[in-house]
Amino acid sequence: MVTSLLWVLLLVPWLSAPLMVLLGRRLGPRVGWAALLAPVVATVSAVGITLAPQAERQALPAYEWVPQLGARIAFMPDGLGLFFALLVSGVGVLVTLYAAFYLDGSYRHHGRFYCFLQLFMGAMLWTVLSGNLLVLFVAWELTGISSFFLIGFLTEKELSRRGARMALVTTSATGLSLLVGVVLIGQLYGTYELSAIFTQGVPPGGEGLLTAAFLCCFGGIAGKSALFPFSYWLPNAMAAPTPVSAYLHSATMVKLGVFLTARMLPLFGDLDVFAPVVLSVGLFTFVFGAGLALLSNDLKAVLAYTTVAQLGALVGQYGWSPQGAAPFGDILHILNHTLYKAGLFMVVGVIDHSAGTRDLRELGGLFRRMPLTGVVALIALAAMAGVPLTSGFISKELLLESGLELFHSRQSLLGALPLVALLLGSLLHVLVALRVAKRFFGPMPEKAASHFHAPSLGLQFPASVLALGVMGFGVVPAAFGSATGFFSASPEVRHLSLWHGFTPVLLMSLSIFALAGILFAVGTRAGKAPAGIPRWLEFERLFERGVEGAPVFGQWLDRVLGFTRPSHFLLLIVGGLVTALAAYGIFAWEGLVQRISLSAPLPEGSEGEPWIRFGACLLIGISALLAVRLRRPIPQLFAVSAVGLGIAFLYVLYRAPDLALTQLLVETATLLMVLLLVIRFKRDRASEQPVAPVSRGARVIRFGVSIAAGLVMGLGVLIFPNPGQEHAGTYYLETTVPLAKGANAVNTVLVDYRGFDTMFEITVLLIAALGCLGLLARVRRVGKPTEVKVSVRDLFPVPEDFILRSVVVFGVFPLNLLAAFIFFRGHNAPGGGFIAGLVSALSLILLVFVSGLGWVRSALRINPVTLAAIGVGLAVGTTLLPLVFGLPLLSHLYVDILGISLGTTLVFDLGVYLTVVGVTLKLIYPLMKSVHGRSAFAPDELGHFYAEASESIDELESVPGTEVPPDAEPSPETRRI
């Protein structure tokens, strides 16, 4: 039962997310009501798991994911994990309900918004419930990616794009630090399972490595929870819609650092460096964030900086935990902050929605216009200030009590600093609360009054629920302590009540209120609002300078090092490789000489094949030299093709038919594409542009590096082979039939043994094709487009020829029949999806050459990019399918039909086939069109590859009388069949 509920909890947001996009197109803003189902189901599931017996929660199964890395799908639904799961799902219900009222028709892409929101919820749930550090890290990064889309949801706004970029770069960069810490822990303990790690002691001599792991992990914690010095990204992320701020930046994402600190406390808590680092960074952030909040004038910025401050206190509280045990009240503090801060963010959204501004200097008289929102706001502000009868009062008293106990235990200046920081930060929070609360009284400024409209009850309802929680726990502190103590790992249990007598902590609270009242009265009488945060404290400016300065620095470094041309990079890489291998050759000179002496410069024996190999290598070398020496593009192209064909011939001689077929077909496709590029260059008169002169010294260096590289590669054949070493190829050949159910080891390696490589390669192939299309559509920045006379007949690359057209048209079917034969035999004989895809693509290219683009495009009726995307999707789906059956990724499934083993390898290979066909066609279409001066893309594709304000490089001025509309296809009279 618990296992089923857990899978429902973890999968419902992920399954619901794509449905939101589809429903959003039909329902518009009303899709928010459909989006409520997922968080409600998740909350009910989380409650069911929480109420289940502890023995059932501890007996959950684990599933293998990447066993070679130690990554297992294991769960840890203890008190901490379940508390955060309830927090994520429960607040998710209120935020989704709030968004359903908040996101009206003025917003676009409602379905996409709820999709991102639920993807984020799913990533959060996987993070807090994971029992494996590697899986936890993957989910941790997924929260950053999904939050990037949420923060930057309003893509038309520069602030949204800037905030999203800042959040992603900061959290991802510090996430790399966390990854290093996770790997160090895995190396130290030999496992990534949290349950196994917590039950072990520190291995002998491992304290130093564990300290390094803690510091790396704390870098990730500080980045995700916006602790100093990474506190700049959270206020800038407030450019997101208010529901995002209420969810991500008060209740969920930013608390991941707090969660991880608590989760890793049993592991790091006993380290000598743990308490000083956590206390100093956390409490400094507490004071720093509260100070910046007091200086801010934007309501969202005020809440953002107080969130930064509270996150510092929530992390810092673990610094005074004794012997790695959780401090009493840690869950209480987290819940208190979630209740009042999520409510305050919703209140700010209501104010902005109704008054049209969030500037404190332009607000006033809000309580009279929106009494319910005013009550909710004052309750939440009272909790932030720690006023009695609110949950904030209980939380603040416990924090001050912990600081006082730390001071008494140490009796030193260092022991007093945490208490001083808590007192100062609490004072600043009271001042901030008073400053915001003042805007609810007095007259309303004319600007806000002219825009004001009363908010709906539904928009105010979620914040009201949170305010009831703040008041309920504040009035009945015993229930507050019991509810949070159920989830806490603290061994200490206290009875909380409203009155404990006149204690030092109560006197400190009264002193804070009195001093804050005096300071606020003096400031109000002075009548001066804060001028804003000083520029030297705006750390986001340093971030922006760093981001903008990185390419500038790279260009400067290129100029200093002389890397102004790409060929210089090649010289450096090849020169460095040659130097390294030459150094190795000097130290291993005797062995090198011995190996060279065993080789013969010419083939031995009377057999003809060695001499044929020698001749093939000689032909390849001569062709390579011709490619360098020839100056005209067409002869150069054929020389390069001769190199490729010579290599294909060598594959034949070495009994590698798969490689030979692939090489021949790739060379043919490449020859056609490059030929079109050469024709296009001639059209643009690119060949007439002067070539940059090369000095004699540079030629000598290039010649020397080339000769050295050739010698190194030749000698490498003699140096690196080791007949006594076991080779992976031997294993593949021996196990290809029993394990991969195929006799063709080349194909089984591609789709089974190393299927991950193939899957990522076809994905990169699709991405590279899209990049090439982007280059075809780049902006023409200088010069005037060349005038080219274009007629409809120029759309066909070859002259009209009946015999050629008949041969090609009637040869398409046999060629694709051959492709099908090659495809289906590929698992047991030379062939496979890649070779079959090239055959089909070449047949269609030939058809385009003789029949024209328009006829082929209308006959195929499918976008080649869609075809390639379907191919990648099939490969990815085949990779993930085994998880449904509890098997590792890419474990192929087989069924015997009439003695023939058919498996999901065919589906994977089909994905490769479709990707190759789609990419090849999509590249050939725009190339052929651009050769003749037409727009590279159809009208419905123009916005996909470059901005609307850009001008395609292929948009040419037409000569009067010879115009061809860019979106026109050949007329039926001129189409050749």
Whether residue 947 is predicted with pLDDT greater than 50 in this model: the reply is no
Structure tokens at 330: 């840690």
DSSP state of 66: E
> Are 809 and 884 in contact, with CB atoms under 8 Å apart?
no
pLDDT above 80 (res 688): no
Q: Determine whether 204 is exposed, middle or buried from the number of CB atoms within 10 Å of its CB (0-12, 13-18, 19+).
A: exposed
Model pLDDT for residues 123-137, shown as the tens digit of each residue: 999 999 999 999 999
Cβ contacts of residue 38 below 8 Å, gap of 6+? 12, 13, 16, 17, 118, 121
DSSP state of 71: E
Over range 95-111, report the average pLDDT: 87
* Alpha helices in 490-588, H assignment, sequence order: 504-526, 539-561, 566-587
Q: Which percentage of the chain shows pLDDT scores above 90?
A: 32
- Binning pLDDT at 50, 70 and 90, where does residue 963 land? very low
Q: 818-832, pLDDT tens digit by residue?
A: 999 999 888 888 888
522-576 confidence digits (pLDDT tens): 888 877 667 677 877 877 888 888 888 888 888 888 777 766 666 677 777 787 8
Sign of the C-alpha dihedral computed for residues 295, 298, 303 and 305 taken in this order: negative
pLDDT higher at 476 or 614: 476
- CA–CA distance, 398 with 334 (Å, rounded to integer): 13
Distance CA 35, CA 93 (A): 9
Q: What is the mean pLDDT of residues 59-81?
A: 87
DSSP helix/strand/coil, 156: coil
Distance CA 151, CA 164 (A): 5
Q: Which residues, in sequence order, are CB contacts of 612 under 8 Å at separation 6+?
A: 653
Q: What is the per-residue pLDDT for 488?
A: 83
Q: What is the pLDDT of residue 686?
A: 58
66 strand-pairing partners: 71
pLDDT band at 972 (very low <50, low <70, confident <90, very high): very low
Helix (H) or strand (E) holding 895: strand 894-897
Q: Burial letters for 84-115: b for 16+ Cβ neighbours within 10 Å, e otherwise?
A: bbbbbbbbbbbbbbbbbbbbeeeeebbbbbbb
Please report the DSSP string for 309-366 in residue order.
HHHHHHHHGGGG-GGGPPPTTHHHHHHHHHHHHHHHHHHHHHHHHHHS--BGGG---H
What does 408-444 look like in DSSP terms, one character per residue? HHH-SHHHHHHHHHHHHHHHHHHHHHHHHHGGGSSPP
Instruction: Tell me what pLDDT residue 683 has.
Output: 66
Q: Which residues contact 959 (CB under 8 A, 6 or more apart)?
A: 787, 788, 789
pLDDT of amino acid 602: 64
Q: Is the dihedral of CA 275, 280, 281, 285 positive or negative?
A: positive
Query: What gap in Å lies between CA 268 and CA 325, rounded to an integer?
Result: 10
The predicted-structure confidence for 888-930, as pLDDT tens digits, reads as follows: 888 888 887 766 677 888 999 999 999 999 988 888 777 777 6
Q: What pLDDT, in 10s, does the model give residues 793-815?
A: 444 445 566 666 777 778 888 88
Residue 609 neighbours by CB distance under 10 Å: 11
**Cβ-based burial of 837 (10 A; exposed 0-12, middle 13-18, buried ≥19):** buried
**How do residues 181-240 score in pLDDT, each as one tens digit?**
999 999 999 999 998 999 888 888 888 999 999 999 999 999 999 898 898 899 888 888
Supply 940's token pair: 């419905």
Q: DSSP character for 798?
A: S
pLDDT band at 496 (very low <50, low <70, confident <90, very high): confident
DSSP calls for 42-65: HHHHHHHHHHS-HHHHHT---EEE
H/E stretch holding 34 reads helix 31-35
Query: Which one-letter DSSP state was computed for residue 891?
Result: -
Note the pLDDT of residue 710.
81
B/e letters for 230-259, b = 16+ CB within 10 Å, e = fewer, are bbbbbbbbbbbbbbbbbbbbbbbbbbbbbb
Contact 529, 360 (CB under 8 A): yes
Give residue 142's pLDDT.
94
* Mean pLDDT of the region 391-396: 92
Q: Which of the four pLDDT bands, split at 50, 70 and 90, describes residue 39?
A: very high
Per residue in 409-439, pLDDT tens? 776 666 788 889 999 999 999 999 999 999 8
Helix/strand/coil for 844 = helix
What is the rounded CA–CA span in Å between residue 60 and residue 666?
Answer: 51
For the chain, the average pLDDT equals 82
First to last CA, the chain: 65
